[in-house]
Amino acid sequence: MIEVYIDGASSGNPGLSGAGIFIKGNDILEEYSIPLGIMNNHEAEFHAFIKALEICHKKAYQIISVRTDSKIVCDSVEKQFIKRENFKPLLEMAFEFIPSFDLFFIKWIPSKQNQHADRLAKAAIHKN
């Protein structure tokens, strides 16, 4: 199983944003700091999730467990629903990737357990 830690960060709301993705598994350690342009923090969290799914799909990982400190991302995926209209297209994009995995899990974790992805996301802000 591949563990995928994700975080989105924004320097303002909205402001310059970045995605941090840390992937680990048997003999796998990958880090990504992806600049996202200007968006709010929740949008950055969703984009980090989508980018992580895209990376895992391209690498043909079959069993992934996504870990996030974003309640809105985790709850939206688990419920397959989100109230805010502007986030619906982002959730739909995520659900285009999820069926490509043999097994997919998502779990909410406290911020202190997601510090690696947080550092990567903050570094991505400076790459904009």
- Round to the nearest angstrom and report the end-to-end CA distance of the chain: 32
Write the class of the CATH domain 2-125: alpha beta
Report the alpha-carbon distance of residue 27 to residue 63 in Å, rounded.
Answer: 15
pLDDT in tens, 70-113: 999 999 999 999 999 999 999 999 999 999 999 999 999 999 99
pLDDT in tens, 10-67: 998 899 999 999 999 999 999 999 999 999 999 999 999 999 999 999 999 999 999 9
Q: Domain limits of the chain?
A: 2-125
Question: pTM for this one?
Answer: 0.96
> In this structure, what token pair is assigned to residue 81?
């629903």
